[in-house]
Amino acid sequence: MFRKAAFGVLATTICLVGCSSSSTITETEWLDVLEEQLSDTQKKQQQKAVAAREALFSRLMARLTQVIQAEGAAKAIPICQAEAPQLAEAVAKEFHVQIGRTSTKLRNPANAPPPWAQSRIEQQPIKPTFLAHRDGRLACLLPIRLKAQCLTCHGSPEQIQPDVREILTQRYPKDQATGYREDDLRGWFWVEVPKE
């Protein structure tokens, strides 16, 4: 995609403009690409990422809604915790990508972003963000906004039922993922698509 020399110059420029020394290695490997500048190959990769995200989101939503309706929100927590990574793994295999969910206010520290996403999420991107690796991979950060039904477990403490609050406190002593309102930016799906 990028010739090596041009890549080096670009990466250096980006680093001069705005990266901390700790992220220099990542910055020289991944370069931001504007959506309108994606090549045809990268657009195919983008479509794959979006399809994987849709699949994961709709499967998570379906399970959440099903369990909340049948058994209540408190019962949905352990299922959500155990099933979300399994669903992500199944989608990853099916779509030949790597995929996960992350946030700057994590509930589960295991959902920390991959290294390439760390500095990008700190900027709280509200639009899909794309990065190209010189080896041909495309990485995407796709924003997740909260719907009303998410507030059962991510809303203000008053919105969260006591039984739900209790389980959340037990399982996630460092939970930062409450106090949100409908339509707030909750986090991002991160997707890494291999070389086409």
Give the contacts of 140 (CB within 8 A, at least 6 positions apart): 46, 49, 50, 128, 129, 130, 131, 189, 190, 191, 192, 193
Round to whole Å and give the CA distance between 150 and 158. 14
Which of 156, 148, 165, 182 has the alpha carbon at shortest distance from 73? 165
154 binds ligand HEC (CB under 6 A): yes
187 binds ligand HEC (CB under 6 A): yes
Q: How many residues bind ligand HEC (CB under 6 A)?
A: 26
Give the contacts of 24 (CB within 8 A, at least 6 positions apart): 15
**Minimum distance from residue 81 beta carbon to ligand HEC (Å):** 4
76 binds ligand HEC (CB under 6 A): yes
Q: Sign of the C-alpha dihedral, residues 54, 89, 45, 120?
A: positive
Listed ranges 47-55, 91-99, 107-115, 122-130: which one lies at the site for ligand HEC (CB under 6 A) = 107-115
Listed ranges 28-36, 86-94, 124-132, 148-156: which one lies at the site for ligand HEC (CB under 6 A) = 148-156
106 binds ligand HEC (CB under 6 A): yes
161 binds ligand HEC (CB under 6 A): no
By CB under 6 A, name the binding residues for ligand HEC.
61, 64, 73, 76-77, 80-81, 84, 101-103, 106-108, 111, 144, 146-147, 149-150, 152-154, 177, 186-187
